[in-house]
């Protein structure tokens, strides 16, 4: 019996807009647009996706997203001439009419209680709509996100498509696809032009997250830190049997990062850890058993780190590292198992501390070659 092919959905946040560069809230405001530099970044994203087999691009009609979509399409067309372009208003950004156009510092000062709710309990954020009616913007956004998934998987079974959207909408889409609610709205980072890939199984409907917020094609090996540059940044490097040569590219990334602690957990990972960090890291690689890795990570996260950013590398099997993610984000085993950690790649978790939520900045990043069967080394 033949299995039903998966539906593959790529998701990208639009390229940097004028409002992004000015530090202003955008929401559904349609004034911001792309700069010449950000148009080039969108083209680079399209070039990265040339062999992904994308058959349709569905995009938010807001100008900055539509411009990104058409730049990507131009980069794809030499290989994909008949790609379908379709605007979908459900992909527009979250509606925040009281904040739109304001600098975030001004929002913080003018709407302190609203802003605190946005940061700590977004599900309960309330503000007036453009028609003056009280609304819950994040609740509305998650309802939209669920409808987008139901429609996309039903409309494009077994196909590969690209959704071009926004930061807030992208986070709601990713978390809702994994069965997570608004508690995780700020926990999954979406950078400009960051690539995410989700697979939906045919009959079972199970979701698998294969790539998150990969910005390597726009010269950001690691996504930019969203919050203050303090706390602990975990770099998770899975090892599952590839040759040492497969990990040499990681040297180009970690060689530019000051490492404070490196843990190699389990049998067969010491050689990989030594290859990656021996020449680029002043700290010693600590060999630990897989059973104690989680405890050591907890000890580090519970320690004080108020004035600096400390980088901690974890080299272990994908199963061990998924357990770390499960603990960091309080995930169920079902959700953790939907996160596919692959080698060679780097998954980055920023733990700012001070009550600020932990952020999954990116997953499986390393600028892998992309083809129609998936993300490959």
pLDDT in tens, 337-346: 999 999 889 9
CB–CB of 316/238 below 8 Å? yes
306 CB-side CA count, 13 A? 2
Radius of gyration of the chain (CA): 20
pLDDT at 249: 79
- Identify whether residues 250 and 205 lie together within a single domain: no
- Identify whether residues 323 and 341 lie together within a single domain: yes
Whether residue 169 lies inside any domain: the answer is yes
Active site residue 55: no
CB–CB of 110/116 below 8 Å? no
Who has greater pLDDT, 296 or 78?
Answer: 296
Catalytic residue among 6, 71, 93, 100: 93
Whether residue 137 lies inside any domain: the answer is yes
Whether residue 2 lies inside any domain: the answer is no
Percent of the chain with pLDDT over 70: 93
Ranges of beta strands (E only) in 189-321 are 195-200, 207-214, 231-238, 259-265, 285-288, 309-316
- Identify whether residues 354 and 251 lie together within a single domain: yes
The angle subtended at Cα 160 by Cα 322 and Cα 241, nearest 5°, is 35
pLDDT at 163 over 80: yes
- Identify whether residues 325 and 350 lie together within a single domain: yes
- Identify whether residues 195 and 262 lie together within a single domain: no
Confidence band for 213, pLDDT divided at 50, 70 and 90: very high
Whether residue 1 lies inside any domain: the answer is no
pLDDT tens-digit profile of 351-365?
Answer: 998 888 899 999 998
pLDDT at 270: 83
Catalytic residue among 6, 14, 186, 217: 14
- Identify whether residues 297 and 312 lie together within a single domain: yes
pLDDT at 241: 79
Choose among 195, 157, 197, 190: nearest CA to 172.
190
Choose among 73, 66, 117, 127: nearest CA to 96.
127
Which of 162, 190, 217 marks a domain boundary? 217
Which of 152, 184, 217 marks a domain boundary? 217
- Identify whether residues 245 and 174 lie together within a single domain: no
When divided into structural domains, the chain yields a total of 2
Confidence band for 376, pLDDT divided at 50, 70 and 90: low
- Identify whether residues 78 and 180 lie together within a single domain: yes
- Identify whether residues 190 and 304 lie together within a single domain: no
Domain range holding 261?
223-376
pLDDT tens-digit profile of 36-64?
Answer: 999 999 999 999 999 999 999 999 999 99
CB–CB of 95/108 below 8 Å? no
Q: Taking residues 347-351, report their average pLDDT.
A: 95
- Identify whether residues 268 and 204 lie together within a single domain: no
Whether residue 136 lies inside any domain: the answer is yes
pLDDT at 285: 84
Q: Taking residues 182-201, report their average pLDDT.
A: 95
pLDDT at 2 over 60: no
- CATH code, domain with 234: 3.40.50.1240
pLDDT at 373: 58
State whether residue 348 is helix, strand or coil. strand
Which of 217, 242, 259 marks a domain boundary? 217
pLDDT at 377 over 60: no
User: What is the pTM for the complete model shown?
Assistant: 0.94
Q: What average pLDDT does the structure give for the chain?
A: 90
pLDDT at 367: 56
Active site residue 14: yes
- Identify whether residues 64 and 198 lie together within a single domain: yes
Choose among 166, 185, 172: nearest CA to 59.
166
pLDDT at 73 over 70: yes
- Identify whether residues 77 and 192 lie together within a single domain: yes
The angle subtended at Cα 362 by Cα 80 and Cα 105, nearest 5°, is 105
List the single range of 76-80, 158-162, 262-266, 350-354 with lowest mean pLDDT.
76-80
Whether residue 179 lies inside any domain: the answer is yes
Whether residue 141 lies inside any domain: the answer is yes
Whether residue 370 lies inside any domain: the answer is yes
């Amino acid at each position: 019996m033949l299995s039903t092919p998966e539906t593959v959905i790529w998701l990208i946040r639009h390229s940097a807009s004028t409002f992004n560069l000015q530090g202003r809230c955008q929401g559904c405001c349609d004034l911001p647009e792309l700069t010449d530099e950000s148009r080039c970044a969108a083209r680079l994203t399209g070039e990265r996706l040339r062999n992904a087999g994308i058959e349709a691009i569905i995009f938010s009609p807001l100008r900055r997203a539509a411009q990104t979509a058409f730049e990507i399409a131009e980069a794809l067309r030499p290989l994909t001439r008949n790609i379908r372009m379709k605007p979908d208003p459900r992909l527009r950004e979250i509606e925040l009419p009281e904040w739109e156009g304001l600098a975030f510092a001004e929002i913080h000062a003018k709407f302190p209680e609203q802003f605190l709710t946005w940061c700590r309990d977004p599900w309960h954020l309330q503000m007036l709509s453009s028609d003056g009616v009280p609304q819950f913007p994040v609740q509305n956004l998650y309802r939209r996100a669920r409808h987008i998934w139901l429609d996309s998987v039903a409309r494009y079974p077994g196909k590969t498509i690209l959704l071009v959207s926004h930061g807030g909408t992208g986070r709601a889409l990713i978390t809702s696809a994994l069965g997570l609610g608004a508690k995780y709205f700020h926990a999954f980072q979406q950078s400009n032009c960051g690539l995410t890939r989700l697979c939906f199984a045919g009959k079972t409907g199970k979701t698998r997250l294969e790539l998150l917020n990969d910005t390597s094609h726009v010269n950001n090996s690691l996504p930019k830190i969203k919050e203050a540059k303090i706390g602990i940044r975990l770099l998770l490097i899975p090892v599952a049997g590839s040759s040492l040569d497969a990990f040499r590219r990681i040297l180009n990334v970690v060689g530019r990062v000051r490492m404070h602690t490196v843990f190699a957990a389990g049998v067969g990972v010491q050689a990989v850890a030594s290859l990656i960090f021996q020449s680029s890291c002043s700290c010693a690689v600590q060999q630990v058993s897989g059973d104690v890795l989680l405890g050591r990570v907890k000890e580090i996260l519970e320690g004080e780190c108020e004035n600096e950013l400390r980088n901690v590398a974890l080299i272990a099997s994908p199963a061990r590292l998924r357990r770390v993610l499960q603990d960091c984000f309080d995930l169920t085993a079902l959700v953790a198992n939907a996160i596919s950690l692959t080698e060679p790649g780097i998954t980055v978790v920023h733990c700012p501390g001070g009550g600020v939520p932990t952020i999954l900045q990116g997953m499986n990043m390393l600028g892998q070659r992309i083809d129609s069967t998936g993300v490959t080394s």
